[in-house]
Amino acid sequence: MTRPHIPPQLTQTLEDWLRHQSALRGISGNTRDAYQRDLLGFFGFLTEHFGNGFGLRTLRRLSTTDMRAWMGHERRRGVQPRSLARSLSAVKSFYRWLSERDAFDATPVLSVRAPRFKNSLPRPLDIQGAQAVLNEVANQTSEEWVTARDVAVVTLLYGCGLRISEALGLRGSDVPLTESLRIKGKGGKERLVPVLPAAQEAVATYAKLCPFRLSNDEPLFRGVRGGALSARQIQKVMQVTRQQLGLPATATPHALRHSFATHLLTAGGDLRAIQELLGHASLSTTQAYTAVDTAHLLEVYRKSHPKA
């Protein structure tokens, strides 16, 4: 579908907001791209909704009815409630900034309620499944240094609970890994993550075998041509691994981070400590893992209790 032409003034206003978000909140490149897609889609709808007269002035006069028309349009074209709620959040964030900058009342936009959706629980691997993944990743390629690289990345995801972007964001200056690693997560928030000997060893093995010079200011993990390793490559490694092990499609790189948190909680880890390790801004995000642990216990109960 061809995107309607968006007035240059709006495009520039959007760029100004994105720069503000990057400077004030330190949003990641992926978050910036998502915000841009959400707002361009919103502007595209409004351009068709209002016709040639749509511009910044119209944007300031948007009504609740206009917002409902946009949300209805999104649902009719198959956008799921969770995705629509995310897009609405981006639109509201933009409007808060714009209304402060241009001094107008943004209540009609800010008062719109997000669609309800059911939060899905994280789907971690069990301990045996996580260990099987680590073992199987080592069998994916005949190139020794590539194998060592993939094992190192996957070990960091499961052994340290890193996001894939955080693992791939490590630089040459981070090697050799010590007993703790300073990670810059979402929103530029920094945290200290303990590093297990297994992760230290896996990264050290990769660094020793890597055929490219690992300069301090360059990416630690490299692709086969020497450029920065992409998240897509690790996703492919996990895809092949789960197929070979017969694991569900939910066994993704991010599932290893979920597994890290769930296994810590099962072993008696403190919820707030796990929150710090994961870099969650809100404890409620971490509390999802207590539901996972409870669900697992109930499953075991149903399978083993004689009266279940």
Known active-site residue 280: yes
Active site residue 289: yes
163, 222, 242, 263: the catalytic one is 163
Active site (annotated) includes residue 163: yes
Q: Which of 92, 186, 191, 296 is catalytic?
A: 186
Catalytic residue among 35, 158, 206, 289: 289
Instruction: Say which of 222, 257, 258, 263 is annotated catalytic.
Output: 257
Catalytic residue among 149, 222, 242, 280: 280
The CA distance from 159 to 260, in Å, is 7
CA–CA gap between residue 49 and residue 45 (Å, rounded): 6
- Residue 301 annotated among the catalytic residues of the structure: no
- Using a 10 angstrom Cβ sphere, with 0-12 exposed, 13-18 middle and 19 or more buried, the burial of residue 156 is buried
Select which of 73, 96, 171, 254 is catalytic: 254
Q: Which residues are catalytic?
A: 163, 186, 254, 257, 280, 289
